Amino acid sequence: MQYWLMKSEPDEVSIDDLERLGCVPWFGVRNYQARNFMRDTMRIGDLALFYHSGCAEPGVAGVCEISSEPYPDATQFDPESPYFDARSKPEMPRWLLRDVRFIARGRYVPLGELRLHPELANMRLLARGNRLSITPVTPEEWRFIAGQLAGIAQFKG
């Protein structure tokens, strides 16, 4: 199993939305490295920290699970979508997504708090200039954030 951090703007899809809906497609990824993580490295059953970004106080809001194989992101073909890509064609899509399923919410852990812990000094989220919407998380970072900081019972220890 691998671990991830997946950023979503809460006005687009929040942890509340995911909990209410149970499962959502992770649409709108328009960075090749993040797309390649979804396409080539993620597996069904991997877990991700659901991270609120683009808001007053970014931070870890909960945990979700990768629940589908990659498939074309329909927003790339919709001229009305902010994620429209005129160069992408249905017969050769550029952008993929995966579905994610709600697992748990915990205590909200703001970005500023994450920066305080030496255990997270090498976390990709905290690297200078990192803007990727999907990043790998080490098992140690995962246990520290999900178990110790967020206090999600099944991830302690």
Q: List, for residues 27-53, the tens digit of each pLDDT value.
A: 999 999 999 999 999 999 999 999 999
DSSP H/E element including 97? strand 96-97
- pTM for the structure as a whole: 0.93
pLDDT value at position 41? 97
DSSP element (H, E) containing 65: strand 59-66
Q: How many domains does the chain have?
A: 1
Could you list the residue range(s) of the whole structural domain that residue 11 is in? Answer: 3-155
CB atoms within 10 A of CB 112: 10
Half-sphere exposure (CA, 13 Å, Cβ side) for 92?
3
Q: What is the pLDDT of residue 130?
A: 84
Give residue 64's pLDDT.
Answer: 96
Q: Which residues of 133-151 are buried (b: 16+ CB within 10 A; e: fewer)?
A: bbbbbeeebbbbbbbebbe
What pLDDT is stored for residue 153 in this prediction?
64
- Residues in the chain predicted with pLDDT less than 70, given as ranges, are 153, 155-157
Other C-beta atoms closer than 10 Å to the C-beta of 63 total: 25
Which CATH number covers residue 61? 3.10.590.10
